Amino acid sequence: MDEDRYKDRFIILFNVLLMTFMAVLDGSIINVALPVMAERLSVTTEAVSWVVTSYLAVITATILICGKLGDFYGKIKVFRIGVVGFTLGSLLCGVSESFAFLLAARVIQALGAAAAMATNQGIITQAFPANERGRALGLSGTVVALGSLAGPPLGGFIIAIIDWHYIFLINLPIGIIASILGAKYLKSNHERQGAVNTDRRLLPLDIFRNWLFSLSLLCAFFSFIAISCSNITLPFYLQNVLGYSPKTTGLVLMIYPMILVVTAPLSGYLSDLFGSEHFTFLGLLFTGFGLYLMSGLDESSGLPALASFIAVMSVGNGLFQSPNTSLVMSSVTPDRLGVAGSLNAFVRNTGMVFGVYLATSILYSRMSESLGYEVSDYVPGHEAAFIYGMKYVYLTAAVICGIGAALTAYRLYVNRYKQRQSAEINDTDI
């Protein structure tokens, strides 16, 4: 092992994962605050969802470009610029008093997040030796999943204690810490030296000829669509229909990340022993079943039933995320780990954007059908209409997970078939 190059690898991992967690967290932390923000900023519920969508859309649109810039100018340099941009954007979001200014600040914040997320897996790959790299990348996938799920409960606590502006302002000390650590430990000697980057294509399309890579990305896309549908819908159900406070809403939503903290690392460890395909299949099945159970919630649903349904979804997501990330990153050659990491992040954010759009479109179209006139906001006193729309959102998300589970079953079947063929060939040779 090159001690000089690898000696600070765990500090580098902490630095990269800290920034990754915050960048992903800010895609969902404001979900629980959307009803309050819509009221304070004097916009509709449909309009305020753009605070989420704009952030995810900008990341999706620029993350591949940022990844390519990292190849040309250095992943570490682009990552550190991303940390600064994200921190500045968070400050501007935190001091905003108008809807238009907040959206503009979210764009700046998203550009910084894109630069950091596009380069994080490449930095981890180069900071760790081959025999430790898989676990480090698996931990990165777990942090991404935790960031997307820990946002709503954390946002609920902040709203209950102080003001929605602090959802963004809490990023400032973390951004400063990440900048200091980056300046001290992220050095040029952690980049591979002497290699020419000869492929100038933004996206080498031939990477998709690897069917295992492409199928794993598609399953990740379906997973994040489904989870995003739930993340954007559930806070409105808890606060507007059940009448929970933001603090109570945050406590309920904490069920998800608390279970994920246990199941995600465990599934990653077990997948190393028994294979990743089994766990991705089971994970999507559990997630889809949990979403189906959520479709049966109504105005009289109790907390025990709600908590158990969320727990089923959480177990499913924990079983899926880490093994699927390992499949994505292990199915490409070492020289394409950077491209694979950028595409994985691209697919994740595209799925979350599409999930928000799909959920709000289904929710308000079904509400309009139930009420007999077009609506684009929650209608007080008409909880049944919201429940009707929410049911279709969760059923659609469950079907999407079911399709993903079918694809993973096909992937498992093909792999088993190839293994049998290889074994038969070896037996014939003997």
Rounded CA-CA distance 427/418 in Å is: 14
**Could you tell me which of 86, 92, 93, 91 has the C-alpha nearest to residue 109?**
86
pLDDT per residue as tens digits for the range 19-63: 989 988 888 788 778 888 888 888 887 788 888 888 988 988 898
Residue 213 scores a pLDDT above 50: yes
The end-to-end CA distance of the chain, in Å, is: 39
Average pLDDT over residues 197-201: 65
Range of the domain at 135: 8-190+203-425
The pLDDT confidence band at residue 194, using thresholds 50, 70 and 90, is very low
Greater confidence, 351 or 198? 351
The answer to whether residue 336 sits within a structural domain is yes
Q: Which residue type occupies 180?
A: I
The answer to whether residue 229 sits within a structural domain is yes
Residue 125 is predicted with a pLDDT of 76
pLDDT per residue as tens digits for the range 135-184: 676 677 678 767 776 777 788 888 888 888 999 999 999 999 999 988 88
What CATH number has the domain bearing residue 26? 1.20.1250.20
Residue 5 scores a pLDDT above 70: no
The answer to whether residue 430 sits within a structural domain is no
Based on the structure, what is the number of domains in the chain?
Answer: 1
In the DSSP assignment, the letter for residue 275 is -
Surface-to-core class of residue 78, CB atoms within 10 Å of its CB (0-12 exposed, 13-18 middle, 19+ buried): buried
The pLDDT confidence band at residue 306, using thresholds 50, 70 and 90, is very high
pLDDT per residue as tens digits for the range 282-298: 999 999 999 999 999 99
The answer to whether residue 159 sits within a structural domain is yes
The answer to whether residue 3 sits within a structural domain is no
The answer to whether residue 196 sits within a structural domain is no
Half-sphere exposure at residue 360, Cβ-oriented, CA atoms within 13 angstroms: 22
The token pair at 77 is: 């340099």
Greater confidence, 171 or 1? 171
Rounded CA-CA distance 146/321 in Å is: 10
Instruction: Work out the percent of the chain whose per-residue pLDDT is above 90.
Output: 33
Beta-carbon count within 10 A of 2 CB: 8
pLDDT per residue as tens digits for the range 392-424: 999 999 999 999 999 888 877 877 776 676 666
The answer to whether residue 51 sits within a structural domain is yes
The token pair at 283 is: 């994970």
Rounded CA-CA distance 374/384 in Å is: 15
Average pLDDT over residues 290-315: 93
Rounded CA-CA distance 167/101 in Å is: 16
**Could you tell me which of 407, 237, 381 has the C-alpha nearest to residue 305?**
237
Residue 193 is predicted with a pLDDT of 45
Concatenated DSSP letters of 206-260:
GGGG-HHHHHHHHHHHHHHHHHHHHHHHHHHIIIIIS---HHHHHHHHTHHHHHH
The contacts found for 405-409 with CB under 8 angstroms, 24 or more apart, are: 405/281, 405/284, 405/285, 405/288, 407/215, 407/218, 407/219, 407/222, 408/215, 408/219, 408/277, 408/280, 408/281, 408/284, 409/281
Asked if 33 and 85 touch (Cβ cutoff 8 Å), the reply is no
